[in-house]
Structures are given as structure tokens and as C-alpha cells.
A = this chain, B = another copy of it.
Amino acid sequence: MAFSKHTGAKPGDSEPVLQFRLRVLHQGEIALGPGKVELLTAIRTQGSISKGAKSLGMSYMRAWTLVKVMNRAFREPLVVVERGGIKGGTARLTPLGDRVLEIYTGLIEQSRLASEPGWRELRELLKK
């Protein structure tokens, strides 16, 4: 997780990267964070929890646990599983799931924009 798919940063990159990892803590759980957001995005793209998990190199059980945590943290589920049973079936984001993903992406963008001047100063202090 150190070099997330979110930023596209890789250990060999020569340019310093400022990585924003936002977590929503709610009722003793992490309702949302980089891993869960990555999973939501993968489920939306792949159309199933198992394929989404696979595309991230995540176990199905782990993915299912993350989905359960998110679904119970929000007013309505973010992910629904459709026909074919849990493992064989398709899954999609609900409108709330789409909205949550959109807000989270916006939070990162707004944070990045606001912290640009400080980041410019900080990166100048790093060794070349």
C-alpha cells in the first residue's frame, strides 16, 4: 500500500510525490479510506466483487469484509450484489456509492490544490 495505485507513484520515480490518504472514522471503524475507495472503483469497473478484488490482488473474503463495513457505515448500501448468488453474481455501485466516490475524489483534489504552495516549499527542502 505504500505506493498506491491512486497516485501512480512508484519507488523509482525521481520526482517527489505528495500522497493524500484520507480516512473516515465512524463508530469505531474506518468507514472509508484509500483501500475501500480503490475497491469501490474496481467493483464499478469490473461489475463484480470477485473480479474487482482480483484486479487489485485482494482476496475475495477481504473485499467482502470491506464492502460490509462500508455498507453498514452509510445510510444506504454503497454496493449491491445482483443475481447469481454472492460469489458468482454481478455487483454495482448504488447512486449513493457513486456519490460517495465522487465526494471522496473531490476531497483529495481540493486538498491537493489548497496545499500546493506548502508542498512547493517542502519539496525544495528535499535532497536532489
A residues sitting closer than 8 Å to B (CB atoms) are 2-3, 7, 9, 11-14, 16-28, 30-32, 72-75, 96, 99-100, 103-104, 106-107, 110-111, 113-115, 118-119, 121-123, 125-127
Contact = CB atoms under 8 A, between A and B. Distances in A.
Q: Which residue of A17, A27, A121 has the most chain B CB atoms within 10 A of its CB atom?
A: A27
Nearest to A111: B111
B25 A17 contact: yes
Q: Give the dominant DSSP class at A's interface.
A: mixed
A127 B75 contact: yes
Given A16-B24, A19-B25, 9 more contacts: A18-B24, A24-B122, A74-B127, A75-B126, A103-B121, A106-B118, A107-B118, A110-B118, A111-B114
Contacts of A72: 127
A84 to B, nearest CB: 28
